[in-house]
Chains A and B, each alone.
Chain A
Amino acid sequence: MQDLAGDPDPIEIGPRLSDQLELHGISRRGFIQFALGLTAAMGLPFGMAGRVLAAIEETQGRPAVIWLHFQECTGCTESLLRATHPTVESLILDLISLDYSETLLAAAGRQAEQALAESIARNQRRFILVVEGSVPMRDGGIYCKVARKTPQQMLHEIAPQAAAVVAIGSCASWGGVQSAAPNPTEAVGIPEAFAREGITRADGAALPVITLPGCPASPYNLLSTVLYYLTLQKLPALDAKGRPLFAYGRLIHDHCERRPHFDAGRFAEQFGDEGHRQGWCLYKLGCKGPETHANCPAIEFGDVGGNTWPVGIGHPCFGCTEQGVGFHKALHEQAEVESVAPPALFPDVFAEHPGGATLASAALAGAIGGGALVYAVGAGQRLRAAEAAEAARSSAVDQPKTESEPR
């Protein structure tokens, strides 16, 4: 994805946060802890915490964010609002200028639409477009109209002016629950909508799209993405589906706390049985962890202590982030296990065994063979001498006889 640090017109951030800590009743310690947590969640080295802190505290100017809602349940917005450190989160939100959000906007109707148009005009090519919800492609998108406009129309108008697009939630990433069979509205995610509608940036370059799937998306992933940009002035590394690698680079299976139970073959067979009570692996109950990319086991939800994620509380993951898994496979259906590199961890069909020749044994065998050969040759030579002696003796014996016999 594009590195916006090279953008000639970098986005600026608003008033210093450090001045407002006391006002909002946040201790400096609590604030630093929060920043450190987010640094870790982004997968940045511990030493960079200082830079993350500085970015939050010191940067100037607030980027404008336009938040569109299409076919969605608004869960992503709600989860952002329900974060357990509301004061700090809202501070982060204070770092951005949320110019348009149908959920949070005080205004309504024409005033709301006017605010949208003004924000776009004022922040040409410098605002972040956050999209929540999928785009219905059937019948031109008439199944989701806001202010008489279809999502396609809105995207054509707004998206080309944006600096970057964040598709938050599974719906915006790949279609989410609306795309479950039979997908009556032909719901697709933003990346696909852009491809099918041919939407690019105003100057023709491709629009950078970050997808943050999840149902709901973890608010911390959004916050981390924003903070990452603020700190480093560039987008985090993304995978082929536009997902930040720091959050979606691993399978849940590969950092699940119940993995040792999977490896040892300890499975819960039914909800409430002995294995379930012991916290054993939920694979047999249909956990999709082995084929789902997300960081739920690491950052969890709700910030209320340990194990606050589905598997942690005893319910199998259903693969909400993963297209083709969430809302597609049955809850009880066993997942495909996409191990990282299985053959490297397994013995080969033909194992090598010891037992061949060593220097010592080869030397001994050689010595025995050599000794036997020398012995045999020696014996052969002695025999030859005996043979010669015998021949000489018999010819000596013969001669007198022939002499005495009459001819």
Chain B
Amino acid sequence: MTEVYRPLGGRLLTREFYFLGVIVLIGAYFTLRRFLFGIGAVSNLSDGFPWGIWITYDVVTGTAIACGGYAMALLVYLFNRGQFHPMIRAALLTSVFGYTLAGASIIVDVGRYWQLYNVFLPQYMNLNSVMLEVALCVTLYTLVLWIEFSPAILEAMRAKRALRLVRHGLFFFIGLGILLPTMHQSSLGSLLIIAGHKVHPLWQTPIIPLLFLITAIAMGYGMVVFESLYAAVHLGRRLETDLVSRVAAVIPWLLIAYLVIRLGELALSGDLAYLGRPGREPWLFALEMVLFLYATLVLLDPERRRRPTQLFWSALAVVLAGALYRFDAFLIAYNPGPGWHYFPAVGEMMITLAIVAFEVMAYLFFVKKTPILAVAPQTESTLTARASYPEHTTMRGASA
């Protein structure tokens, strides 16, 4: 089977695109304020809550959402499911921008950004620090993602020589691109271990790296499913329900493993008793479980798995559940002591929103102007026909 990647085409500067642009500009304003007047001028970060939504969403959740490339690489290269190969580029697009913008939000979040390169200097490195490993791993992986993604750009630029060079060495970077996220997605969870009693016992556990890793992979698949359906709804692309449904079929097994390990560990350590204690934590835990269970049950059923709406809501549930798990562990079930309060400030939210908007804008640009999405598979009957996107098949009034 051969694949062809083509730009989706269509108008880039739509109303929605401009709307996203406005959000980016507002975020840029607040970012300028942050650099002129300090982090406190735009955020509600405090000594009790040093990490807010910039870390919790932009970095921790954002990179987990950007695990599509990693998840698909596992499927295609490790488990040799070649039929999913056409979906890799789109997944890589999300990943590359997710990680790059996570890096951008790091620059906004850290206080002494002009010395950020210190993490790369051996005389400063602290090999005991989980944060060091996360920083180095994420930086390296972002580089690897750009290399993995470069064929799409090089094809658009028709740089044949460069393309051949990249293709020859790509296998190494693909291998690296599976190793590195395994390391840092788990370590993002390990970051919390040192916080000890400040993280609620329902979330604090020595196996937190394993739980973060499993949910990150599940969220990666969830995003791949979600984005394929998004492209169908809003970009006029055909529904590739069959392929998407098979990707989605992996998710429930990951979630079952996650639920068994999570609940089992809580039972063994005796922390399950905290579900009976007063407070909002049991409810947050229950919400996470409900979302995970919903996704699991829907995606286990082959009938439901074939229906785009079911795929859509369950993929959303996986991503939301994974995001909620991270928000709970880092922020909502995090208690530094009485007297400390955190709710993101307007400026803080606008900067995060701007980063997400920028990511969407970048996605739209690349999908429309560069060969990211694969065309319909060539069959005998349509080989002679023009290889193009059957834009008029399904979606009425598709825009964006």
**Docked complex Cα distance between A368 and B57 (Å):** 14
Of A101-109, A171-179, A358-366, which binds chain B? A358-366
A201-209, A222-230, A375-383: which lies at the interface: A375-383
Within 8 Å by CB of A386, from B340, B342, B353, B394, lies B394
Interface residues on B, range: 35 or more
Residue of A nearest to B308 (CB): A383
Q: A354-B44, A380-B312, A384-B308 are in contact. List 18 more A-B contacts (CB 8 A).
A: A353-B47, A355-B45, A355-B48, A355-B340, A355-B343, A356-B341, A361-B44, A365-B343, A365-B344, A368-B353, A379-B229, A380-B309, A380-B313, A383-B309, A386-B233, A386-B394, A390-B241, A390-B308
Q: Can you list 28 contacts pairing A with B, beta carbon distance less than 8 Å?
A: A351-B339, A352-B339, A353-B339, A354-B44, A354-B341, A355-B45, A355-B49, A355-B340, A355-B343, A357-B343, A358-B343, A360-B346, A361-B344, A361-B345, A361-B346, A361-B349, A364-B346, A364-B349, A368-B353, A376-B316, A379-B233, A380-B312, A380-B313, A383-B309, A387-B307, A387-B309, A390-B239, A390-B394
State the Cβ distance, B283 to closest chain A Cβ, in Å. Answer: 17
Q: Decide yes or no whether B232 CB sits under 8 A from chain A.
A: yes
Quote the shortest CB–CB distance from A172 to chain B (angstroms). 53
Query: In the complex where A357-B343, A364-B349, A390-B239 touch, is A383 in contact with B338 (Cβ < 8 A)?
Result: no
CB-defined contacts of B339 to chain A, threshold 8 Å = 350-353
Is residue B337 contacting chain A, with contact meaning CB distance below 8 A? yes
On whether the beta carbons of A361 and B309 are closer than 8 Å, the reply is: no
| CA of A210 to CA of B152, assembled, Å | 101
Q: Known contacts A368-B353, A389-B394; is A383 also within 8 Å of B346 by CB?
A: no
A356 to B52, CA, bound (A): 12
Interfacial chain B residues near A389, Cβ < 8 Å: 394
Q: Is the interface of A mostly helix, strand, loop or mixed?
A: helix
CA distance A365 to B57 in the complex (A): 14
Q: Once bound together, how far apart are the Cα atoms of A389 and B309, in whole Å? A: 13
- Chain A residues within an 8 Å CB radius of B46: 353-355
Given the complex, which residues of B lie within 8 Å of A362, measured CB to CB? 343
Residues of A near any B CB (own CB < 8 A): 350-358, 360-362, 364-365, 368, 376, 379-380, 382-387, 389-390
Distance (Å) between the CB of B214 and the closest chain A CB? 24
Cα separation A355 to B350 with both chains bound (whole Å): 16
- Chain B residues whose C-beta falls within 8 Å of the C-beta of A358 in the assembled complex: 343, 345-346
CB of B23, distance to nearest CB on chain A (Å): 10
Chain A residues whose CB sits within 8 angstroms of the CB of B343 once the complex forms: 355-358, 361-362, 365
Q: How far, in Å, is A350 (CB) from chain B's closest CB?
A: 4
Nearest A residue (CB) for B49: A355
What chain A residues lie within 8 Å of B47 (beta carbons)? Answer: 353
With A365-B349, A376-B316: A382-B233 Cβ-Cβ less than 8 Å: yes
Instruction: Give B347's nearest chain A residue, CB to CB.
Output: A361
Q: Mark B295-332, 1 if CB is under 8 A from A, else 0.
A: 00000000000011100110010000000000000000
User: Which B residues are CB-close (under 8 A) to A357?
Assistant: 343
Whether B17 is near chain A, meaning CB under 8 Å from some CB there, is no
Cα distance A362–B346 in the bound complex, in angstroms: 9
* A387–B312 alpha-carbon span in the complex (Å): 12
B230 at the interface (CB under 8 A from A): yes
Bound CA span A18–B82, Å: 121
Q: Determine whether the beta carbon of A356 is less than 8 Å from that of B308.
A: no
CB-CB nearest 10 A-B residue pairs: A357-B343, A356-B341, A350-B338, A355-B44, A383-B308, A350-B339, A355-B341, A383-B309, A382-B233, A355-B46
